[in-house]
Structure 1
Amino acid sequence: MAIINLLGIAQGLFTAVALCTVKAGNRQANYLLAALLVSFAIGIAGATLGASGYYMEFPHLIRVGDPVVLLIGPLFLFYARSLTRNKLTRKDLLHFVPFAGYVLYLIPFFLQPAAQKVAFVQQMQESTSPGILFIILLRSVILLVYTYFTYRLLNHYNKQLKEQFSNVERLNLDWLNQVAKLLLVVIACSFLMYALILTGHLSFLVSNYLTSLLLTSVIYTVGVLGIRQARVFVMPASVEKNVVTHSVPVVPEEVRPVARYENSTLSEEKSQKYLQKLLKGMQQDKLYLNPDLSLQLLADTLDIPAHYLSQVINEQLGQNFYDFINSHRVEEVKARLLDPAYSHFTILAIAFDSGFNSKSAFNLAFKNQTGQTPSQFRVQVKK
């Protein structure tokens, strides 16, 4: 387990260095992710040092990594905010107060001689101090709060994207949502381990190893997602520009729908007029065939203010922009699958020609709308 943890530390540090050397894309986000990975690596190193017995060789490193755990939550939130273009301010430095406070609290310990530090670790392994456990539990609670708010921010951001764009695969942050979910699992496991320690069913030594392995899994997850999705590390300029103009504030989800259009000046007459113009653009002009279609581009094409167009789609049709456009694309695919002239085309070719630019997004939209996979639909058509 120590070897696996050491490999995780190496992976985190290597990825952090790589991120700091990338000059393209969102450099602030890259630096924040690098700092987050270094924090994970230090946390893993501290736990592994104590669990493997190497603290005897380097006693003055004991508890050096403890405060760093308090950096993980704020850095994770700041990284998500930097990707969603919620600007960081000087007030955000207050998020580091718990870290600074914990460092001050540990200064007397850091000034102790090596023998006392070694004795502290040995005492922890034999009989856990309730005070130390409380501090460790408090760190997990703080991390839980930050992870929860980060998860909410990411969900709000991804929903907002669907109000603006018809293809969101290059813009959404689903990969980061997966990391947030994994962190929540890690925190849940931590709480379970604390309960087992208090009841005497788990030693502090074993919990150190398990915690290190869980944090290592987070580093490996980020690495794998980085390989699968290059934009995790380098966001294309065109995508970055779109995200800049559509930042998402942290607003409680239950509040937004109620207050969204209460101050709108759109009359019922104009709403119906815009609706007819919109439906004509879809049915006759087939504007949905443009894979790069966005709310703003559609609004410019139809000569309708973008905020009014969004309101019409939401209120009159009960859909967001993403679902509205892709429902027309699915109907286009179905029509072409029924047309013998397209029998020699692959399903994916038809999907891309109908405005989709992602196989996964197409399959999901088709299944949600028809209850069948595209292949099942084509087989049924042939029968």
Structure 2
Amino acid sequence: MTFWTFIYIAGAVQAALLALALWRQPANRAANHLLAVWVALTGVDLAVKALYWHLLSPEWFRAYRFVALFPFLYGSLFYLYVRALVEERGFRLRDVKHLAGFGVMLVLNGYVFVGTHAQVQALSERWIAGERTIGAWFDGPLFLYSLSYVLAALFLVRRYRRRLREQRSDADRLSLRWIDAMAGFQVAIWGVAIVQAVVYLPILNYGLLFGLVAAWVCMVGWFSLRQPPVPAKPLAPPSENEPDSTTAIDAARYEEVEGRLTQLMRGDTPLYLEPALTIGQLAKRSGYPEYLVSAVINRRLGGSFCDYINRLRVEAVRERLADPAELRTILDLAYACGFTSKSTFNAAFKRQVGDTPSNYRRHQTAAAEVT
């Protein structure tokens, strides 16, 4: 048994266990059911390749060519998984259209599955001799088809994040960062596959390609089993009953709303201290419609709702860091002012102040000592 065969079997076993765990995950159930199917198919793909590579038996060649079509499912399953996360839409009958690429290639490769034993044996011998690609008529459509679905999934994530920042102050914590890692890993795998199909490079061989697939299973396990529940509401379009704020609301009312928001953010218990504050909660407290509050934040206060709240939180942290009597750690101050993660706080502080929180505190302490 070769090194890569062992890697494939290990990846297949892990994929089977991960698929079972994902199917039972209570969070993001519709999405995780799709991810479980995707991971299970990857495990079958790896297991069949491992068996064929180890045995090099013509009897296994049909199965090998069948799982060679699975990559036509991977890109579309990634898209359906992301869509289920951001829209809470599980797989439906009409989603069969997203599996069309696999169906077309299954028909075009039908000669392998209905061929005689002698024909299959000849195909197997050609593969063993080094002809390990089905052909440009297969590789080109595969790369374009799969990568287009990966890009479509990233577009969904981008739109989701934009809506999330307009509605939640803890948007960064819920912005599906693991999707970027999953997409990046897939692009790397497809990149190796493209190079391997175009030009022969000893290091970028067929074994490495599916070794990366086995590593991808490990990466999916790491991220998917730790994913938080994803709020799908932000992707919903605005209500048709809400008027266009640019035409239906005059500047005088903007000033009223802005004054009310300032009051809520500057009181004894500012609203921005609430870690998971949403624009819906802010609108309810202000007494104005959500669409109007959103319009005022975007047009009068600058940026998204998340940007607006984080600016107030950063200013609150700055005031505390400038106080020589403040002994709490920087992270404790960030959490006390409403931030939900260290990375979000550091990025917001550096963007707004132009310096890191630790340097800012050090400079403030030195200035206080001089005076």
TM class, shorter-length: 0.7 to 0.9
**2:320 aligns with one of 317, 336, 340:** 336
Asked if the contact 2:56–2:128 (Cα under 8 Å) also holds between the matched residues in 1, the reply is no
Equivalences for 1:51-130 in 2 at 5 Å?
51-56=53-58, 58-85=60-87, 87=89, 89-126=92-129, 128=131
Alignment-derived partner of residue 331 in structure 2: 348
How far 1:130 moved relative to its partner?
8.1
How far 1:58 moved relative to its partner?
3.1
- Matching residue's letter, 1:14: L
Alignment-derived partner of residue 313 in structure 1: 297
Alignment-derived partner of residue 133 in structure 1: 136
Asked if the contact 1:261–1:311 (Cα under 8 Å) also holds between the matched residues in 2, the reply is no
- CA deviations on 1:2-48 (whole Å, 9 max, x unpaired) are 222221221111100111233x2232211100011122223334444
Equivalences for 1:146-225 in 2 at 5 Å?
146-197=149-200, 201=201, 207-225=205-223
Asked if the contact 1:55–1:61 (Cα under 8 Å) also holds between the matched residues in 2, the reply is no
What is the alpha-carbon distance in structure 1 between the residues aligned to residue 334 and residue 163 of structure 2?
Answer: 24
- CA deviations on 1:135-194 (whole Å, 9 max, x unpaired) are 033212211100011111111111211111001244221111211122112212221111
Alignment-derived partner of residue 224 in structure 2: 226
What is the alpha-carbon distance in structure 2 between the residues aligned to residue 208 and residue 138 of structure 1?
Answer: 19
What is the alpha-carbon distance in structure 2 between the residues aligned to residue 375 and residue 337 of structure 1?
Answer: 9
- CA deviations on 1:103-124 (whole Å, 9 max, x unpaired) are 2333331133444323213213
What is the alpha-carbon distance in structure 2 between the residues aligned to residue 265 and residue 44 of structure 1?
Answer: 59
- Matching residue's letter, 2:73: L
How far 1:304 moved relative to its partner?
1.5
What is the alpha-carbon distance in structure 2 between the residues aligned to residue 319 and residue 331 of structure 1?
Answer: 16
What is the alpha-carbon distance in structure 2 between the residues aligned to residue 195 and residue 368 of structure 1?
Answer: 43
* More relative contact order, 1 or 2 (CA 8 Å, 6+ apart): 1
Scaled by the length of structure 1, what TM-score is found? 0.85
**2:283 aligns with one of 296, 299, 318:** 299
Distance 1:214 1:248, change over 3 A: farther
- Matching residue's letter, 1:222: V
Unaligned runs of 5+ in 2: 238-242, 367-371
Alignment-derived partner of residue 253 in structure 1: none
Alignment-derived partner of residue 369 in structure 2: none
Distance 1:136 1:183, change over 3 A: same
What is the alpha-carbon distance in structure 2 between the residues aligned to residue 335 and residue 175 of structure 1?
Answer: 34
Stretch deviating more after TM superposition (187-196 or 41-50): 41-50
Alignment-derived partner of residue 252 in structure 1: none
Asked if the contact 2:73–2:102 (Cα under 8 Å) also holds between the matched residues in 1, the reply is yes
What is the alpha-carbon distance in structure 1 between the residues aligned to residue 260 and residue 114 of structure 2?
Answer: 74
Paired residue total: 356
What is the alpha-carbon distance in structure 2 between the residues aligned to residue 9 and residue 94 of structure 1?
Answer: 28
Distance 1:129 1:76, change over 3 A: closer
How far 1:99 moved relative to its partner?
1.5
Tell whether 2:8 aligns with 1:5: yes
**Percent of aligned positions with the same letter in both sequences?**
28
Equivalences for 1:274-289 in 2 at 5 Å?
274-285=257-268, 286-289=270-273
Scaled by the length of structure 2, what TM-score is found? 0.87
Asked if the contact 2:49–2:64 (Cα under 8 Å) also holds between the matched residues in 1, the reply is no
- CA deviations on 1:181-211 (whole Å, 9 max, x unpaired) are 22112212221111114xxx569xx732122
What is the alpha-carbon distance in structure 2 between the residues aligned to residue 91 and residue 230 of structure 1?
Answer: 28
Stretch deviating more after TM superposition (24-33 or 206-215): 206-215
Asked if the contact 1:50–1:208 (Cα under 8 Å) also holds between the matched residues in 2, the reply is no
What is the alpha-carbon distance in structure 1 between the residues aligned to residue 169 and residue 155 of structure 2?
Answer: 22
What is the alpha-carbon distance in structure 2 between the residues aligned to residue 114 and residue 334 of structure 1?
Answer: 76
SS of the residue aligned with 2:97? Answer: helix
What is the alpha-carbon distance in structure 2 between the residues aligned to residue 155 and residue 306 of structure 1?
Answer: 22
How far 1:65 moved relative to its partner?
0.3
- Matching residue's letter, 1:212: F
What is the alpha-carbon distance in structure 1 between the residues aligned to residue 117 and residue 209 of structure 2?
Answer: 25
How far 1:264 moved relative to its partner?
4.9
Unaligned runs of 5+ in 1: 250-259
Alignment-derived partner of residue 255 in structure 1: none
Alignment-derived partner of residue 240 in structure 2: none
Distance 1:312 1:222, change over 3 A: same
